[in-house]
A and B are shown apart, each in its own frame.
Chain A
Amino acid sequence: MVTTHAQLAVIAVNRFGLGARPGELVQAAKDPQLWLKNQMVSPQFDPQLADTKTAFEQFSAHRKIRGQQKKIAKAQVQSMILEPSTVDQSTSMQVMKKNKTMAGGQTRYAKLMRQTQKNLLMSGLWESIETTQPFSMRLLDFFSNHFSVSTSTAQLKVVAPLLEREAIAPYLFGHFEDMLIAVIKHPAMLMYLDNTRSTGPHSKAGRYNKKRGINENLAREIFELHTLGVDGGYHIGDIQELAKALTGWSVSYPADQQQEGFVFRENLHEPGTRIILAKRYRHEDQRQVEAILKSLARHPSTAKFLSYKLASHFISDQPAPTLVAAMATRWQDTNGNLSAVMTTLIEHKGSWQPERQKFKTPREFMVSTLRSIGLEQKSARGFLTGLVYHLTEMGQAPFSAGSPAGYSTYAEDWSGSDALIKRIDWVNRLVAVSPKSLLSAVDLAQQLFADDISERTLKVLKGAETARQAYTLLFMSPEFQRR
């Protein structure tokens, strides 16, 4: 089958990108590969949004007030038990009044944190919907999911969404090892995988308090999920050694020091040389882990594992072995230079087969639908303010995979009967509230897929009962559900 230039553009915008915004297909058609390569710069984010510093400030204020509240409540109860006679009317009134002010304080910060989280999640979605670099945003989504963190605690609710902005985006087209180090250092990862209090038994703190010990969680997931992969040829001893090296990698609260974010706590750190995959690491401080992460990032198993995962995310649930091999070779030749690896992905003919082989995840489906209508955040009202909630309903709440493995990108995990019905319902509601002056669904189909659309789908779109129904049918068509 001969692939036409227009078809290549359709593949570029749908498979590599996030689905066409109005006019995008025409731009990509000039030179589909160049259109992709030109996007390979780190995406920028709204500077108004919260960063780790703000998130920590909000959380610390919240925690401080909650601590005071608990103290007061305890004191109150104790004084009433011990000396009931001494508690006169005015003291208890005073205590109650103070409690009330404090409660107001907690509500204020808790509310502020909820707002911060909401802003971060919403802007994350809208950045994807409005971006002119859909290829790099898709790559960002990939790594954000590769280094999946979930909002499992109050603090992570505001910190987890920052990981992709602060630790992934800056290195998106740099070397994987730099991204890896930044990610493992980020408070979101250290908190999510329980490393902040992990204590070496021979460290200062460990010798003082025998109850404290090592937590292997982060070390295990670095091997299994972030670098070599479960079959990458490491052993439990390697995990234990990395866990020891990671002791002391912790998070500093403003209450502790005059800084926020990563801190290396020497008093928790297990002293000594570590041996991992038969290689010795002598440093006695945080450089030890940095050196380990660098070698893990360059390891042949990492090259293979990440290349396979990238190819299966972008191209197909069963990517061509030649494509994966070409990417892995490039990875090793360049010490994991992501620009080079992604260039190989773009240039390989295994990436351009005409058949649509990826079933969209709920997020991809939602983003591509809203992109195709050309919506902008400022026009969003009512229904569209609930997008994060809708994604939760569809089973893909942002930063809530609930597992460090992240969300699946395989068809069988998203194409189930319940999932499909939810997509239909969502599109139905979207179409019901969308602005009226839309193109006809047939014209829109042309804008999304040029001529790469089946006779049957065209027939169904033309025969629809209403213009709105035609839209629903277009978004639910096999052409739109896959990429």
Chain B
Amino acid sequence: MMKRRQFLAAVGGSMVCWHSPNLLAMPIKRPKLVWVMLRGAMDSLHAVLPVADPSLMDHRRGLLKTVKGQATPLERGFALHPSLKTFAELYRQKQLLAVVATSSGANTRSHFRAQDIVESGYNQADADSGWLNRAVEAYQGESLAVAHSLPISLRGKHASQTWYPDHFMESSEDLYNRLKYLYDGDEQLLNSLINGLETQAQLGNMANDKRQQKFANLALSCGKLMQAENGPDCSMLELDGWDTHQRQVYRLDKQFTELDKGLAALRQGLGEQWDNTAVIIATEFGRTVAENGTGGTDHGTASALFLAGGAVRGGRVYGQWPGLKKAQLFEGRDLMPTSDNRQWISALLKQHWQLNDVQLNTVFPQISPMQINLIR
């Protein structure tokens, strides 16, 4: 990290870069945040099953056939899908909580539009400013995106790194120096080059050991990067494949297993830092309450949100339950939202990172944080 700072100092103030003047004075254990975005709209009713709701079976008898009786009971008449084993374990250890019937605030059933809105954290999508970027800027921390290119969540004033495992051989030091000279005056290319080289150096041989790009491996590497000395304070992971219009039972079994293994790997990678970590797992919107004609579900409205980690006060299911009777559904087809994801994330930022109300208002304007203790 010092090397990078020296270099940044050498090239002068031409770049926006992180500078944490208090770095040396900071305590060793800083609260960590991991943002996991599930792209494609996860069916929350298949993840956190409202088994006590008498209307559930009317809507999705076929979808629930294989799950019935195997789900892990949670409080308030909910149950976890059986493939979410680590989730269940963490729930028992009071390190995981679920929020039901929560929406992303995106008033659209378009994946792409909704994901942009979720990532920007505004009511209207702004592709140049992400909520996590604004949060980490207020926190004066450092951030990492496990992705080829910077996702919207981490775009903005604060400079973030991207990292993704790579199979190509390394280029030589001399060439890099020449490229730096070549890019002088071209901020976009110079920034990318310097950040890329930094991540490569920081990672050392880790990328070579784990060449597979499976989610669990990405999560493991992400955890390792975060727990390293002066590792980033927050990071973002993405998992797609949730758009289950067809064959949902089979596909979600696979998806949940992959997500579950990822969470376990993240915990493993973080090691002791897991105790200081809060993981947010969310999706862009929910899916229709009723099963469609092809063994799946279509685009809906409210979904669920998970918070996990050693820092989280878990073992709870939050969120007002709107009910599944036809008259209780949004537009007669979707789960009705009773809260906004951002209210929960805002509360988490307030308690975990001690952001004040002015700072929270820059992260999520006009969103009031939930008055519930989410952090230990």
Contacts and interface: CB of A to CB of B under 8 A. Distances in A.
Chains A and B bind each other = yes
Interface residues of A, number: 52
A217 B245 contact: yes
A230 B110 CA distance: 8
Given A424-B175, A473-B179, A194 B147 contact: no
Instruction: Give the interface size class of chain B.
Output: 35 or more
Nearest to B290: A213
Given A403-B112, A421-B166, A426-B168, A416 B148 contact: yes
A355 to B, nearest CB: 13
B293 A211 contact: yes
Contacts of B183: 478
A123 B182 CA distance: 34
Interface in B178-216: 178-179, 181-186, 188-189, 191-200
A422 B331 CA distance: 47
Interface in A196-217: 197-199, 211-217
B320 interface: no
Interface string B263-297: 00000000000000000000000000000111010
B357 interface: no
A419 interface: yes
A236 B246 contact: no
B294 A412 contact: no
A308 to B, nearest CB: 15
A214 B171 contact: no
Contacts of A220: 109, 299
A416 B147 contact: yes
B127 interface: yes
A405 B196 contact: no
A194 B246 contact: yes
A417 B294 contact: no
Nearest to A408: B149
Contact of B196 (A411, A413, A421, A476): A421
Contact of A481 (B170, B171, B189, B197): B189
Given A230-B108, A413-B149, A426-B168, A460 B178 contact: yes
A421 B148 CA distance: 10
Contacts of A476: 179, 182
A413 B116 CA distance: 13
Contacts of B111: 403, 405
Given A402-B240, A403-B112, A478-B182, A412 B293 contact: no
A312 interface: no
A460 B178 CA distance: 7
Nearest to B191: A417
A280 interface: no
B294 A425 contact: no
Interface in A21-38: none
A467 interface: no
Contact of A418 (B155, B164, B171, B246): B164
Interface of B: 62, 108-113, 127-128, 147-150, 155, 161-164, 166-171, 174-176, 178-179, 181-186, 188-189, 191-200, 240-241, 245-246, 292-294, 296, 298-299, 331
28 contacts: A198-B294, A215-B245, A216-B292, A216-B298, A217-B298, A230-B108, A236-B331, A393-B167, A395-B149, A412-B127, A412-B150, A414-B149, A415-B189, A417-B161, A417-B193, A417-B195, A417-B196, A418-B162, A418-B196, A418-B199, A419-B192, A421-B166, A421-B193, A424-B171, A424-B179, A428-B168, A456-B181, A460-B182
Interface of A: 194, 197-199, 211-217, 220, 224, 230, 236, 359, 393-395, 402-403, 405, 411-422, 424-426, 428-429, 456-457, 460, 463-465, 469, 472-473, 476-478, 481
